[in-house]
Amino acid sequence: MAIRKYLVQQIGQNKGAPRIYMETQFLALAGFVPGAAYNRKVDDGKIVLRLDDYGQYRVSRKERGGKVFPVIDINSKEALSALDGLKAVRLVIQDGVISAMPIASEANARRRLRRLRENLSRGQLVSASLSHGGGILDNAAHHGLADAGIEAQMAFANEIDDDLMEHSRGRNEVWGAGSMGLAAPMQEAVQDEWLMQRIPQVDVLAVGIPCSGASRAGASKRGLDMMESHPEVGHLAASFLMVVQRTQPAVVVVECVKEYQQTASAQIIRQHLRDSGYSVNEVILNGKEFGVLENRTRWFMVAATNGIEVDLAGIAPVCNPVRTVSEVLEEVPLDDPSWRDFQYLKTKAIRDAEKGNGFGMQIVHPTDTSVPVLRKGYHKGGSTDPLLAHPDRDGIYRLFTAKEHARIKQVPEHLIDDMAQGRAHQLLGQSVLYALVKALFRRLGQSLNVWDSELHQGQRSTPVYNLARATG
């Protein structure tokens, strides 16, 4: 049947009852001319009006400006009971048939909650990963959910670097027999209709949005005036939202540098998710709050389908043991070639000081209780990369080993097994602090358990759609 008109409109009120009022020539185009008879029934949660010569109801008429308009006016709580609780309705006018149903965002939210409830009852959620890397975030997420008594099965992971995905597939326990690996740029994968039709809907979608354009170092290096100007990753918010639309996760978790929170992309994400039926919460977490040596701060967004309450306050432990760098060090001989003077950095530090740009070497001692951020390119030994001081020789330092890097971030070492030092540093440097993510997902799991225990069959999510937002 041809579609004559698709309309989203607010459900009105008249005489203390809900009201759907249609006055448009599109009704006549669909056969609903003044005086035409039709029947009305509820079919699978929607109200269907169908032309019928012997129908119980008739199309009214209204004259305006010398023209006659067909009118359908449904003003009854009983007649509109299938749409009870909604603020807006989706009207589809087709030849001979008119359907009144929940707007797409509300219908999607209901389906998400129903699927989540079913999967929780089976004891296993379905997860998915974007910008997977080596799966460190996902590993922490799965273990955090497990701490709350919820098992998760990863349906698919998307990662542009096939080597990292292959490494993760062989060593990361989040992969199952049915997990799909999508080794392609995110923006390319979402344009592949064949592929998008084959990825499943999930309960939890996690993404570590690439931070190259948002981090201060990345923006400074490229001279970016805004994050979205980054030619490779500045536009990935759009691709990410396309995956959200396809997979319809009950919960979305986004991680990035704290600067991302203030970007236009973050604002687009939070408002699009809001209008898709999610309640969006955000939190800034720092490693020191969780007893992690690395002083890394990250921003997290948790968008849960309306009806699920996730409180992000007080995630960090009240107290943590004080750790020192000495606890994570490997047995590296004091005469090992890795110990060197890094003269090129000393020379650069002098030049930088003369320029007054503030860059300088960052020296770490075994007794220190904090380590500056270890970046993706740490293995290159850049001017601000933390160096471990030799215990006996002044002016001699070395880079942390990959295993030490993992321990500093509290990342399970098996996730970097058999990787070359440089590659392991790259994986770890672009990843997360394990304890933060694990704690966040533990809280998420606890919230899902509370929601599941309190929610009875048939309860709906809170409708929050506001038509004025779309019309201005």
Q: Which residues pair with 72 in a beta bridge?
A: 22
**CA pseudo-torsion sign 43, 47, 49, 54:** positive
Q: How far apart are CA 92 and CA 73, in angstroms?
A: 15
Identify the three-state secondary structure at position 379: helix
Residue 218 token pair: 């990345």
Q: How far apart are CA 414 and CA 425, in angstroms?
A: 14
Find the helix or strand (DSSP H, E) in which 251 lies: strand 251-257
Identify the three-state secondary structure at position 452: helix
Q: Which residues pair with 171 in a beta bridge?
A: none
Per DSSP, which regions of 264-372 are E strands? 278-286, 297-305, 362-364
Residue 200: half-sphere exposure toward Cβ, Cα within 13 Å? 17
Find the helix or strand (DSSP H, E) in which 250 lies: none
Q: How far apart are CA 140 and CA 433, in angstroms?
A: 9
User: 22, 211, 251, 266: which one is catalytic?
Assistant: 211
Q: How far apart are CA 439 and CA 469, in angstroms?
A: 35
Q: How far apart are CA 80 and CA 2, in angstroms?
A: 25
Contact 3, 90 (CB under 8 A): no
Main-chain phi, psi angles of 331, to 5 degrees: -85, 90
Residue 16 token pair: 């203390």
Q: How far apart are CA 247 and CA 204, in angstroms?
A: 9
Question: 5 vs 2, 8, 26, 32, 356, CA distance in Å?
Answer: 9, 10, 7, 13, 65
Per the annotation, the verdict on 211 as an active-site residue is yes
Contact 338, 396 (CB under 8 A): no
The catalytic residue positions are 211
